[in-house]
Chain A
Amino acid sequence: MNKKLFFVALALLIFASPIFAQTSGADEVKKWVAITSGFSMAIASGLCGLAQAKAVASSAEAMARNPGASAAIRFALLLGLVLIESLALYTLVIIFAKLP
């Protein structure tokens, strides 16, 4: 039943084709930057949060299992957190680069 509804919804999206009829030039596009930047930053931050949560969870468990290796695990944790954070920040930079 859910699968059927999904395909019905997908077919109904064809009715959205008037969106391709673009009106005048670049001004129309610029208004959408605010909305899309909000959505894209939210998606980037949300996924970054999930990834960092996974990293922290597994490193906390590893430190609990093997307290002697805490230093190495902490190093790997910090490195991983910073690299994941930087991916969310790339989205922020694009937003500021594309602001009209």
Chain B
Amino acid sequence: MPEHEPWLTALFNDHLAGVANAVLSMAGLKTMERPWSTSLSMEILVAAIIVVLFAILRSQLSMDRPGKLQHSFEVIYDFLHKQSEESVGHDGPKYLSLFGSIFIFVLFCNLIGIIPTFESPTMFPEVPAGLAMLVFCYYNLMGIVANGVGRYLAHFAGPIWWMAPLMIPIELVSHMARPLSLTIRLFANMYAGERVTVVFLGLTYIIAPAVFMGLHVFVSFLQAYIFALMTMMYVGSAVAHEH
């Protein structure tokens, strides 16, 4: 069903279609007439906004007279730092670059959908899926780096050795379920929020859709925080040393 493209995606498709088709043909995939998808163009916009914002922040950093931007980012940093110490343990802040990046990226992706002509990239299933796969590969990799391959795989057998034949399938299934639940939780919350606002916009005007949009803002913050928190908990359980 050809649906109305947001103006940003149309901009990408009109001017940069050649670039995308070149990349597609290099990867051996079929080239398309309008190769840029909405999720990709919105993601690029979010990444550009984050880079510009942090560049401005970096240039304004000051020990003596911190401005409002620096204050707000210090609050976010302290919050994530404390949370990572609680979830991962004493060396939680080692992984703070990933946790912070995921939190800020998911937060901005969720929030950009509130602006009228933009769409949240996290509303499309591929974006949360990509993030969840990143988290899955990252926590396994960090577990192997921290514990060694043998001891990390031995975690799957559980604490008692003769229960291993029961524990290993259970642990494998629960590990497979983690990226799935991360994906579906984020995607379904964002998609449902947008659907509900659109449905109510078709029924009435101003008050009810605005209430649902406000709920969507709150849910955006909460889901970004939960994604980051789940990441921290998975990394924490992967790098845990048994003393």
Residues on A close to B: CB < 8 A? 78-79, 82, 85-86, 89-90, 92-93, 96
* A89: B residues at CB distance < 8 A: 184-185, 188-189, 192
Q: What 0/1 pattern do residues 203 to 223 of B give for CB contact below 8 A with A?
A: 000000000000000000011
Give the distance in Å from the alpha carbon of A85 to the alpha carbon of B223 in the complex: 11
Known: A86-B181, A86-B184, A86-B185. Contact between A92 and B222, CB under 8 A? no
* A85: B residues at CB distance < 8 A: 189
B interface residues, how many (CB within 8 angstroms): 12
Give how many A-B residue pairs fall within 8 Å (CB-CB): 26
**Residue on B nearest A78 in the bound complex, by CB:** B222
Interface flag for B40 (CB, 8 Å): no
Give the distance in Å from the alpha carbon of A92 to the alpha carbon of B189 in the complex: 10
Interface flag for B226 (CB, 8 Å): yes
The listed residue (A82, A90, A92) touching B226 by CB distance below 8 A is A82
Q: Which of A78, A79, A93, A96 neighbours the largest number of chain B CB atoms within 10 Å of its CB? A: A93
Give the distance in Å from the alpha carbon of A82 to the alpha carbon of B223 in the complex: 8
Interface residues of B in 217-243 (CB under 8 A from A): 222-223, 226, 229
Cβ–Cβ contact A92 & B185, under 8 A: no
